Amino acid sequence: MASLSPPDENESLLDKLDAMAPAPLKTFDAFPKLPASYKSRSESRGFLTVFVGLLALLLLLNDVGEFLWGWPDYEFTVDRDQSSYVDVNVDMVVNMPCRYLSVDLRDVVGDRLFLSKGFRRDGTLFDVGQATSLKEHADMLSAEQAVSQSRKNRGLFSFWRRADKYKPTYNHEPDGSACRIFGSLQVKKVTANLHITTLGHGYASHVHVPHELMNMSHVITEFSFGPYFPEIIQPLDHSLEIANDPFVAYQYFLRVVPTTYIPPHTSPEKGLLSNQYSVTHYTRVLEHNRGTPGIFFKFEIEPVRLVVWQRTTTFIAFLIRCVGVIGGLFVCASWALRISVKAIDTIARPPRTRSSRPRARARAAAQQVGR
C-alpha cells in the first residue's frame, strides 16, 4: 500500500493551489509550461501579484466611471437668452403667523408687486429640522460640487425620475405660530428686491403688529431661480437664522449666473437651463423707527452664462485606456520587482576584501612555476 508522503514545509501557497486543481484541467493546456520543480515560487511574489491586480481593478473602476458618467468641463459665454422673465422659487418658514406677514417685490423698472397672494402661505410650527446656520455655509458650493451633489441626490436611476413638486406642509396648522411661504413666480429679469416684512412696519397698513409678536427667525429650504429642480443644491438651501430681537433686518445680496448643464451624449440645444448664484449675508439690529425689520433678498442677473459640459469618452477610447492601464501597471510592477531584487542581492552579497586578490595572484604564479 502506498503511503502518503508528509507535506513539504517549504511548499508555497501557489504549489498548494496547483495541487488542488483537477487533473483534466491540468492536461488541457494549449501552451506547454515548465514543471513546477523548475520554478522558484514564493508567497511574497504571490501577494504582490494580488496587490497589482487589485490596483489595476481600482484604476479600471475610475475609467468605467468616466465612461458612464463623464467629468465636468466648464466654459463661460455671453448670455444670449432674450427672455424677459425668470422664475423665482421660494420655500421658507418664518416664525410668525401668516396673517402678520407681507411679501412684496420691487424692481429697478419701478414696478412693485404685492406677492402675499402670489406665493402660497400655510400655517405651521417653527421647526429647524436639518437646517444649519449660514456661518457654516462659509465654503459655498462650486459648480463642480453642485453637479456632484445633484448626481448623488438623483441616484443611479435618475433618468426615470421626475422632479418632485413642493412637498406638503409638515405640521400644517391653519392658525399656527409660524408661516410657510412657498411657490414659484415669474418676475422681470432685472435687478429686484424681494422682501418679507411685518404689517405696519414695512408699508402702510391698517394693521400694526405688536412688538412682542415680531420674530423674523426663518428657515430657508429652497431659494432658486429658473425651472424648479429640487435636486440642484443652492447656497441658501437648508439654512436658518435665529432672531433674538424683534427689530432685526436680514439682508441677502445675490449674484445670479445663468447656467446650462449638458448631460452626457446630449446636444447643447437639449441642455438643462438653470441658474446658480453667490450670496452675501448681513444682519442688522435696528432701533425703533430707525429702519424696517424683515427679510430682504436683493438679486442681480449677470450678463454671462456658465456652460457645464458633462463629457465622456468613446467606447474605443475606453477599451484602449483599459488595455493601457493593465499592461502599463504590470510592466511597471515587473521592472520594480527586478530592480528591488537586484538591489537586495547587491546589498546582501558579502564584500570582497583587498587581501584576497594578492593571494589569488600568488597562488596562480606558484602553479605556473611548478609546471
User: How many C-beta atoms surround the C-beta of residue 71 within 10 A?
Assistant: 14
Q: Which of 117, 80, 85 is nearest to 99 (CA)?
A: 117
**Which residues in 86-107 are b (16+ Cβ under 10 Å) and which e?**
bebbbbbbbbbbbebbbbbbeb
**pLDDT given at position 95:** 92
Per-domain residue ranges of the chain: 42-70+314-347, 73-311
pLDDT band of 249, cuts 50, 70, 90: very high
Length in residues, the chain: 371
Amino acid at 65: G
**pLDDT given at position 111:** 76
Q: Which of 262, 140, 256, 126 is nearest to 194 (CA)?
A: 256
Tens digit of each residue's pLDDT (9 = 90 or more) over 148-196: 555 554 444 443 344 456 777 777 777 888 999 998 888 888 899 999 9
Q: What is the mean pLDDT of residues 306-323?
A: 85
Amino acid at 306: L
CA-CA distance, 221 to 238, in Å (whole number)?
5
Amino acid at 226: G
All three cell numbers of 98, joined, read: 401668516
CA-CA distance, 96 to 202, in Å (whole number)?
15
Q: Is 229 helix (H, G, I), strand (E, B) or coil?
A: coil
Q: Which of 230, 119, 87 is nearest to 167 (CA)?
A: 230
Cα-based distances in Å from 312 to 36, 210, 316, 322, 327:
46, 60, 12, 15, 23
Tens digit of each residue's pLDDT (9 = 90 or more) over 66-92: 788 777 788 888 888 878 888 899 999
CA-CA distance, 286 to 298, in Å (whole number)?
19
pLDDT band of 135, cuts 50, 70, 90: low
CA angle in degrees (0–180, nearest 5) for 181-183-184: 140
Q: What is the mean pLDDT of residues 241-257?
A: 92
Which pTM does this prediction carry? 0.62
Q: Which of 222, 303, 304, 228 is nearest to 273 (CA)?
A: 228
**pLDDT given at position 157:** 40
**pLDDT given at position 327:** 87
DSSP assignment of 249-281: EEEEEEEEEEEEEE-TT--GGGPEEEEEEEEEE
DSSP assignment of 157-188: TGGG-----PPPPTT--TT-SEEEEEEEEEEE
| Contact assessment for residue 239 and residue 133, using Cβ atoms and an 8 Å cutoff | yes
Given a cut of 90, is residue 298 above it in pLDDT? yes
Phi, psi (deg, nearest 5) at residue 189? -85, 60
Cα-based distances in Å from 304 to 205, 233, 243, 257:
41, 20, 36, 7
% of the chain at pLDDT higher than 90: 15
Given a cut of 90, is residue 94 above it in pLDDT? yes
Which residue(s) pair with 257 in the sheet? 276
| Contact assessment for residue 346 and residue 77, using Cβ atoms and an 8 Å cutoff | no
Given a cut of 60, is residue 38 above it in pLDDT? no
Cα-based distances in Å from 326 to 45, 252, 276, 315, 322:
18, 52, 41, 17, 6
**pLDDT given at position 161:** 43
Kindly report which listed range (79-88, 180-189, 231-240, 352-361) carries the lowest average pLDDT score: 352-361
pLDDT band of 331, cuts 50, 70, 90: confident
Q: What is the mean pLDDT of residues 30-42?
A: 58
